[in-house]
Structure 1
Amino acid sequence: MLIAFVVLYLVVTIAIGLWAAKRVHDSKDYVVAGRSLPLYMNTATVFATWFGAETVLSVSAEYAKNGLGGVIADPFGSSFCLVIVALFFARAFYRMDLLTIGDFYRKRYNRPIEIVTSVVITFSYLGWTSAQMTALGLAFSTLSNGAIPLPLGIVLGAAVVLGYTVWGGMWSVALTDLFQSVMIIIGVTLVAWVVGDMAGGAGKVIAAAAEAGKFDFWPKGGAKEWLAFGTAWLTLAIGSVPQQDIFQRVTSAKDEKTAVRGTLLGGVVYFSFAFVPIFIVYAGLLIAPSLASYLSAEDAREMQKLL
């Protein structure tokens, strides 16, 4: 039954993506959805840009292992990145009326700089994209009880995402992001409610996490620990500002105010909701303490099996 629902979800997602392609008539429609996304869609696509399989699986497992300080990069750094973009860059980006972040470098400098920065930005996505695809493949493999091997799961996930994205561009991304955001918020909230109740209630889960020191945020140690802590935050908070995905969502809004508000709301919603999977994992540890053995595994994919 669970597999059937997963398949249905994928089919609906693909159908929405293909249907959205009907709205594409020129390059502006394809790349920035004709600069016409209303606030709710702009917020949803900003939220969905950050909230993916990596947030659900990796961030929650990292918190269960290292506490609040272990997730300084994500969701803290990634959320602050969106707030920084909204407050300091969104208006400027939108007024430029450009299609890609590479266009900015060409306009500000020259064509060679555009090419170099575009190549560098493309390569910078490899690690993040690999993490997302691996987590998605792991979800397929786990839900199928191993019937779908991890490599095949990664290929299937990539094929689905690439399929509707290439077909309909930003319109497909925006509409599927909206659908997925609604499903994520409803589904994960229901799971948190059920699992929290099984663990004895939200209060008990939070109290157990506090007692175990999982709310300790600041690093303990010397300069090395503080440097690693600050670097992890800066990598996403500042390093992700000049990225195509954020730039594209800012410039896809219907107007300047929507660009600012959508990015800011997306960041706030993401930061708030990223802690729901964290709650689920920690509640799961209270229900079945034996799951804690996964946290000692060197392979991060073993930690992700907590979910």
Structure 2
Amino acid sequence: MILFGMIAYVLAQFAVGIWVSRRVKTEADYILAGRSLGPTLVAFSVFATWFGAEAIVATSAEVYDKGLSGALVDPFAYGLAVIAAGALYAATLWRKGVTTFADVFRERFSPGVEKLVVIILLPGSVFWAAAQIRAFGQVLSSSSDLSLQNAIILAALLVASYSVIGGLLADSVTDFLQGTAVIVGLIVLTITVAVAAGGVAPALQNMPVDHLVLATEAHGTPLELTEAVAVAFFGSFVAIELISRFLGSRSAEVARGGTIAGGTMYIVVGLLPVFLGLAASGLVPSTPELKAKLVDSEQVISVLSEHYLPQWHYVIFGGALISAILSVVHSALHASGAQVSHNIVVRLVPTIGIRGKLIAARLSVVALTAVAFVLAITSDRIKELVEIASAFGSAGVFVSAAFGLFTRFGGAASAAVSICLGTLIWAVGRFVLEWEAPYLVALGCSALAYVAVAALTKETRSP
């Protein structure tokens, strides 16, 4: 019954998306919602895009395992990155009138750098989507008799169907509904757990003492902690999922204000999974029923919900959690699919036509969903997928974007070398040499490479 209730909840979201998507007639409608989004839709869309699996499932698991140190990256580093993006460049990008983030690199550097950015950022978006699909499967599996593998398969089928239906406008409307449901659901669950334990203090009194320490040995060395924060912050700062949200705003001021509001909401609401993770670390060992159900720390939220909430409340909360994950995964697939179709397919086939552009965008989303499914079913942890998603290729892209947006220094060669070198160094350091801080090294090398190539070639953008 619980599984069917959750699926019914999700199908209701599908219906809303289908109804709104009737207005999608062109590629611009699909990708940018006709630049019609107001401040409320932008704020909730930014919030719902970021507040998914890693913010609810993974953060509560990290805090359950490691205490407060597990919250330094999420919600704080991610939330601050969104706020910084809104304050520093959301309005600037909106005024440029670009359709995708890659368009900025075409305008500032060259068509070659534009395509390079699409290719470099694509794996990160797919890993991000895979993390959401795996989280979706975790929720379905913990709420039914489905094995995790079968639950992930069902999750992927629902995601593929949901992602193709509507564009940014449909996504933003459902983001508002889903974001509201998740906020209310988390508040209700937090209050219920606290009341059942006799109050906030009693709920936390049995947790391990070291869980209140911000930097513990469980989190690694100070360098590893700095690396994790840097990956979350700089990776999110140039994330195409975030940028696609505010490019659909109806004005530059809405783009800036809505993004800042969405980031602030993220941090505030993100404190609720932190509390639940801390509470669970004390409640689970002393409650046999919870201990028997909690097979994996990534199921903390699901187990607490099923144990403390009445069944119909749990169905609603589970549906809200799933719909929030759908919002995040749709954003990742929509943004990356839009860049593949708009910045590569359409450029290669200039005679494709209005309908052809829309079909290309939707087919790109379907193809990327299939790849994300394979990654989700072969990965062991959501957190690992999220870390790779945030780090892959973003070091060089961040450096090139910073120089490109805020200076006239450097050109196509410096940007291309910076992006390629940053990606290569991070990949070798992360997977081959197993450095403690491959992302920090990649950031530094990307910046040096950009400056060196620009100085040697005397590249400067014309006024």
| Distance (whole Å) between structure 2 residues aligned to residue 79 and residue 180 of structure 1 | 19
1:75-127 CA distance string (max 9 Å, x none): 12111110110111111111111111111111111111111111111111233
Deviates more, 1:279-288 or 1:68-77: 279-288
Equivalent position amino acid for 2:221 in 1: E
Change (3 A) 1:283 1:226: closer
The Cα of 1:244 is off from its aligned counterpart by 1.2
Deviates more, 1:131-140 or 1:195-204: 195-204
The Cα of 1:204 is off from its aligned counterpart by 2.8
Q: Is the 8 A contact 1:61 1:278 kept in 2?
A: no
Q: What does residue 306 of structure 1 align with?
A: 300
Q: 2:233 aligns with which of 227, 237, 255?
A: 237
Query: Secondary structure at the residue paired with 1:288?
Result: helix
| Distance (whole Å) between structure 1 residues aligned to residue 35 and residue 77 of structure 2 | 27
Q: Is the 8 A contact 2:21 2:165 kept in 1?
A: yes
2:96 is the alignment partner of 1:99: no
The Cα of 1:205 is off from its aligned counterpart by 3.1
Equivalent position amino acid for 1:63 in 2: V
| Distance (whole Å) between structure 2 residues aligned to residue 118 and residue 129 of structure 1 | 16
1:174-208 CA distance string (max 9 Å, x none): 11211110110111211111111112212333555
Change (3 A) 1:206 1:260: farther
Q: What does residue 16 of structure 1 align with?
A: 16
Q: Is the 8 A contact 2:66 2:216 kept in 1?
A: no
Q: 2:197 aligns with which of 196, 199, 212?
A: 199
Q: What does residue 164 of structure 1 align with?
A: 162
The Cα of 1:278 is off from its aligned counterpart by 2.4
Query: Secondary structure at the residue paired with 2:132?
Result: helix
Matches within 5 A, 1:201-216: 201-206=199-204, 212-216=209-213
The Cα of 1:128 is off from its aligned counterpart by 2.3
Query: Secondary structure at the residue paired with 1:262?
Result: helix
Equivalent position amino acid for 2:279 in 1: A
| Distance (whole Å) between structure 2 residues aligned to residue 86 and residue 291 of structure 1 | 44
2:264 is the alignment partner of 1:268: yes
Q: Percent of pairs identical after alignment?
A: 27
1:8-29 CA distance string (max 9 Å, x none): 2111111111112112122221
Q: What does residue 50 of structure 2 align with?
A: 50
TM-score by length of 2: 0.60
Query: Secondary structure at the residue paired with 2:211?
Result: coil
Q: What does residue 140 of structure 1 align with?
A: 140
Q: What does residue 217 of structure 1 align with?
A: 214
Q: Is the 8 A contact 1:138 1:301 kept in 2?
A: no
1:239-279 CA distance string (max 9 Å, x none): 22222111111111111111111111111111111121222
Change (3 A) 1:291 1:274: farther
1:47-70 CA distance string (max 9 Å, x none): 011111232111111011112222
Equivalent position amino acid for 2:268 in 1: S
Q: Is the 8 A contact 1:105 1:114 kept in 2?
A: yes
Matches within 5 A, 1:31-46: 31-46=31-46
Q: What does residue 5 of structure 1 align with?
A: 5
Q: What does residue 453 of structure 2 align with?
A: none
Q: 2:150 aligns with which of 152, 169, 182?
A: 152
| Distance (whole Å) between structure 1 residues aligned to residue 283 and residue 56 of structure 2 | 19
Deviates more, 1:168-177 or 1:1-10: 1-10
Q: 2:273 aligns with which of 265, 274, 277?
A: 277
Equivalent position amino acid for 1:284 in 2: A
| Distance (whole Å) between structure 2 residues aligned to residue 191 and residue 165 of structure 1 | 29
Q: Is the 8 A contact 1:14 1:160 kept in 2?
A: no
Q: Is the 8 A contact 1:219 1:229 kept in 2?
A: no
Q: What does residue 70 of structure 1 align with?
A: 70
Q: What does residue 253 of structure 1 align with?
A: 249
* Number of equivalenced pairs: 297
The Cα of 1:3 is off from its aligned counterpart by 2.8
1:135-193 CA distance string (max 9 Å, x none): 1101001101x3x2222222322332332332211122111211110110111211111
Q: Is the 8 A contact 2:71 2:274 kept in 1?
A: no
Query: Secondary structure at the residue paired with 1:99?
Result: coil
Q: What does residue 289 of structure 1 align with?
A: 285
Equivalent position amino acid for 1:136 in 2: F
Equivalent position amino acid for 1:34 in 2: G
Equivalent position amino acid for 2:253 in 1: K
| Distance (whole Å) between structure 1 residues aligned to residue 87 and residue 232 of structure 2 | 16
Change (3 A) 1:215 1:265: farther
| Distance (whole Å) between structure 2 residues aligned to residue 140 and residue 116 of structure 1 | 37
TM-score by length of 1: 0.89
Q: Is the 8 A contact 1:24 1:30 kept in 2?
A: yes
Q: Is the 8 A contact 2:206 2:283 kept in 1?
A: no
The Cα of 1:290 is off from its aligned counterpart by 5.1
Q: Which of 1 and 2 has higher RCO (CA within 8 Å, sep 6+)?
A: 1
